[in-house]
Amino acid sequence: MPVLAGAEPMRHDGSEVGVLLCHGFTGTPQSLRPWANYLAARGLTVSLPLLPGHGTRWEDLAVTGWRDWYATVDRELRQLGERCEQVFVCGLSMGGALALRLAARHGDAVSGVAVVNPAATFPRLEGLALPVGRFLLRSAKGITSDIAKEGSWEVGYERMPTHAAYSLRDFFRVVRRELPQVTQPLLVLHSRTDHVVPPSDSALILGSVSSTDVTETVLERSYHVATLDHDAERVFADSYGFITRLAARKTAGK
């Protein structure tokens, strides 16, 4: 099945500081490509994979689940670890949850975590309906392109497969249980107005991790896909500053 234009994965070989970027549910690398390009232009090694079932047609996503998505980023992290002395994990929305689980499970192999509008909960009513509803309704309305900036759009699915959504609900439960295992420095950037993920998810994450080096930034002019919105440059600059600060500290401590 051909990949949608703009949804292609990206890999850039740079310095011994690596960054893994994880896109969101029903989205594609397109939503994070400007972020990836920003980091690559500054010499970092960057990996931006396409998650299984994404970037083609929503029916392909319907036959995948969270273990498939996580296995992809887990493999990318291991490959970056073979190439780089330090690896940072970043993500948008569900990609933020993937990044946090990588940090929880890989410990010192992850030097820091930067997430944008990270998701950690599933809407209650929809979640209660999914165990049975997914057999009655194959898909629901999509959640892409929640962007305030005029003329900006996100490449993704217009439909959300309910079987995959059910798996996503289960994944968030797994991530919430593992959040106390996250000890790495953490940067959380979240929009004040988000029509996909409530700001309370960021608060839940900040209150559950065991990290002591924590930075929270509120994005005032963007909606959910802040990496394509008015605050994109701030996301890029803040994350780059976060990464370089930690990388320099570790290098100095050798």
List the structure tokens of 123.
């809407």
* Residue found by looking up tokens 């999914």 in the block: 130
**Catalytic choice (111, 224, 230, 239):** 224
- Among residues 31, 47, 93, 111, the one annotated as catalytic is 93
Tokens describing residue 248: 């320099």
Catalytic residue list contains 93:
yes
Q: Catalytic: which of 146, 190, 191, 194?
A: 194
12 catalytic? Reply is no
The number of CA neighbours under 13 Å toward the Cβ of 134 is: 17
Nearest CA to 149 among 236, 229, 34? 229
Confirm or deny that 160 is annotated as ligand binding: no
| 242 labeled part of a ligand binding site | no
* 224 among known catalytic residues: yes
Q: Which residues pair with 190 in a beta bridge?
A: 218
Which DSSP string do the residues of 193-206 spell out, in sequence order?
S-SSS-HHHHHHHH
Closest CA to 233 of 80, 52, 27, 37: 37
- Residue 10 structure tokens: 């990206």
Give dist(CA 245, CA 253) in Å, integer: 12
Greatest extent of the chain over all pairs of C-alpha atoms, in Å = 58
Please say whether the beta carbons of 39 and 240 come within 8 A.
yes
Residues catalogued as catalytic = 93, 194, 224
- Residue list, annotated binding site: 25, 94
- Residue list, annotated binding site for substrate: 25, 94
